């Protein structure tokens, strides 16, 4: 495939290109092959030159298998250097990287095998071992010559998978331009300088997880410090030992690290310039505790698989703003609130979030979510979140439409109740889910994890606390279940579907 000459784009001082992952990494490796590229989970240091040699081995294996430009290649997202090299090799061929979680369910895998149209798979066990890439195997699939080719493949660098409302995974198609914009914007937000190491905490089996760790590091030249097994104390030690300056995580990760500090097991200030946090409820108390106990500027980030990381607070913002705002849109991006008729609302009114900007995805793969593509007439993607946009452009995510509990016609926002529950001194984690009720339709159940050293509150204790802080009685949960830990998705978000099933079983409602 002829070498593409990258185009450069800019908005409000931020610049990015449409160069491929391979083009960017190869240029960095040419400039300094001895520079540190990756610190593996076992502590081994890998240079850019070593990673390039492994990537070329992956490229050669793909070419020998007949993989062509714009083909789709599935990549099992195990967190090791062989997988990083395979991603580079896929990009070098000009094919599309399709990362998937190692614990992908059999039913979802069958759907992808039937509908994705991929021609090859890298994983840790099936197929032929790839010379030069320890632990990695390559298998091929018969090319469907009779099928219609998706012309969008020529613009696609990555397809990430996320849950769909119909139970079928959504295949989220991203261009290199969108990925480059997203990581450049985060680099700008954090104030990173060349060579600053970044923390590789998020799983690689999703579009944001891959982009904000693997792509961020390999494209921009920031050494990636891999964390494979989640342990909050060990992660704090890794951040400190390697001087990590940026990372991205979900609230559950930050809660666990703060709890380690509260226990007295860790007291050193973190070298992180910023830690982007998204994918769940972030309370002001958590943000303050992260700053006070760990020295971590935790940034509330707004993004999703379809439009990765498009708004954020900044490390230099006042503490009150860090605690109560989701920041402003990245340069070149617009976030607005829309009503139920998909009309843009005036600033200050609550409505469904719509986003438009350089990190917006191309679309969903055919047969993998394309029926859920939801654009306004003027090109804003409706996210399903509820936001309020202030006149100065600041925004606050205030809920999630599909998570709302409707009790007797009254809408309850679980995020608001969860934030109230988390202000209770004994509650470390909380999720509020709907349970069926014959007369009212739905009721609310609080599922809570208790802080070490604290007695679990009763439901009456919880209601008393909610009354004290002024939460409307209409929003109080009717049920309380205390658990050892919440259920999580592979990306670390609270898994409300699993919690709902648990609650129905525990309350004997099924």
Q: Which CATH code for domain 177-401?
A: 3.40.50.12780
pLDDT for the residue numbered 146: 60
pTM (two decimals): 0.87
Contact 338, 356 (CB under 8 A): no
Domain ranges of the chain: 52-149, 177-401, 404-506
pLDDT tens digits, 275-312: 999 877 788 999 999 999 999 999 999 999 999 878 99
Task: Name the more confident of 38 and 437.
Answer: 38
- Please check the confidence at residue 433 and state whether its pLDDT lies above 90: yes
CATH of 404-506, one of 3.40.640.10, 3.30.300.30, 3.20.20.70, 2.40.30.10: 3.30.300.30
Q: Give the pLDDT band (50/70/90) at residue 163.
A: confident
Given this model, what pLDDT does residue 417 score? 93
Contact 441, 478 (CB under 8 A): no
Provide the pLDDT for residue 279: 77
**Would you say 300 and 312 are in contact if contact means Cβ atoms under 8 Å apart?**
yes
Annotation: CATH topology of 52-149: Rossmann fold (3.40.50)
pLDDT digits (tens, 9 = 90+) for 310-364: 899 999 999 999 999 999 999 999 999 999 999 999 999 999 999 999 999 999 9
Whether 76 has a pLDDT exceeding 70, the answer reads yes
Q: Looking at the DSSP assignment, which residues form a beta bridge with residue 121?
A: 74, 139
In CATH terms, are 52-149 and 177-401 the same topology? yes
pLDDT of residue 491: 74
Q: How confident is the model at residue 89 (pLDDT cuts 50, 70, 90)?
A: very high
Report how far residue 165's alpha carbon sits from residue 351's, in angstroms, rounded to the nearest whole number.
Answer: 21
pLDDT category, 105, cuts 50, 70, 90? confident
Which of 141-155, 300-314, 402-416 has the highest average model confidence (pLDDT)?
A: 300-314
- 129 - beta bridge partners? 137
Q: What is the pLDDT of residue 510?
A: 56
Assign residue 447 a region (left: φ > 0; alpha: ψ between -120 and 50; beta: otherwise). Answer: beta
Mean pLDDT over 244-249 rounds to 97
At residue 1 the predicted structure's pLDDT band, cuts being 50, 70 and 90, is low
Q: Looking at the predicted structure, is the pLDDT value of residue 167 above 80?
A: no
CB atoms within 10 A of CB 502: 18
């Amino acid at each position: 495939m002829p070498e593409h000459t990258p185009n450069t784009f800019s908005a409000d001082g931020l610049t990015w290109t449409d160069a491929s992952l391979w083009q960017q990494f190869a240029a960095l490796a040419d400039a300094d092959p001895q520079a540190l590229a990756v610190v593996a989970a076992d502590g081994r240091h890998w240079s850019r030159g070593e990673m390039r040699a492994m990537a070329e081995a992956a490229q050669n294996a793909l070419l020998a298998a007949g993989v062509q430009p714009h083909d789709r290649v599935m990549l099992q997202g195990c967190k090791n250097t062989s997988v990083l090299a395979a991603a580079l090799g896929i990009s070098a061929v000009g094919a599309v990287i399709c990362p998937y979680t190692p614990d992908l369910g059999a039913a979802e895998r069958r759907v992808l095998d039937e509908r994705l149209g991929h021609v090859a798979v890298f994983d840790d066990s099936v197929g032929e071992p790839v010379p030069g890439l320890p632990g990695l195997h390559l298998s091929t699939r018969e090319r469907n010559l009779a099928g219609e080719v998706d012309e969008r493949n020529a613009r696609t660098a990555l397809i990430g998978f996320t849950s769909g409302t119909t139970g079928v995974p959504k295949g989220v198609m991203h261009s290199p331009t969108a990925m480059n914009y997203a990581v450049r914007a985060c680099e700008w937000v954090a104030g990173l300088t060349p060579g600053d190491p970044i923390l590789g905490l998020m799983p690689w089996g999703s579009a944001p997880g891959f982009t904000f760790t693997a792509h961020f590091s390999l494209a921009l030249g920031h050494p990636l410090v891999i964390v494979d097994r989640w342990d909050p104390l060990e992660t704090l030690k890794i951040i400190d030992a390697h001087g990590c300056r940026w990372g991205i995580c979900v609230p559950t990760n930050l809660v666990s690290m703060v709890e380690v500090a509260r226990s007295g097991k860790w007291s050193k200030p973190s070298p992180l310039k910023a830690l982007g946090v998204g994918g769940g409820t972030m309370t002001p108390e958590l943000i303050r505790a992260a700053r006070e106990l760990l020295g971590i500027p935790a940034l509330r980030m707004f993004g999703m698989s379809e439009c990765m990381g498009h708004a954020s607070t900044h490390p230099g913002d006042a503490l009150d703003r860090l605690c109560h705002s989701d920041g402003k849109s990245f340069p070149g991006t617009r976030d607005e609130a829309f009503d139920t008729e998909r009309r843009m609302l005036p600033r200050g009114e609550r409505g469904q979030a719509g986003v438009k900007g350089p990190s917006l995805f191309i679309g969903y793969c055919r047969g993998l979510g394309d029926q859920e593509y939801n654009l306004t007439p003027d090109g804003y993607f409706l996210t399903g979140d509820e936001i309020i946009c202030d006149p100065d452009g600041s925004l606050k995510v205030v809920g999630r439409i599909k998570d709302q509990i409707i009790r007797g016609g009254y809408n309850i926002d679980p995020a608001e109740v969860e934030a109230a529950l988390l202000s209770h001194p004994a509650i470390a984690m909380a999720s509020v889910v709907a349970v069926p009720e014959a007369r009212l339709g739905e009721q609310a159940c609080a599922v809570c994890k208790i802080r070490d050293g604290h007695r679990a509150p009763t439901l009456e204790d919880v209601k008393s606390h909610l009354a004290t802080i002024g939460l409307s009685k209409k929003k109080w949960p009717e049920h309380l279940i205390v658990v050892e830990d919440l259920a999580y998705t592979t990306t670390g978000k609270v898994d409300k579907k699993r919690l709902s099933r648990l609650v129905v079983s525990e309350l004997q409602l099924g």
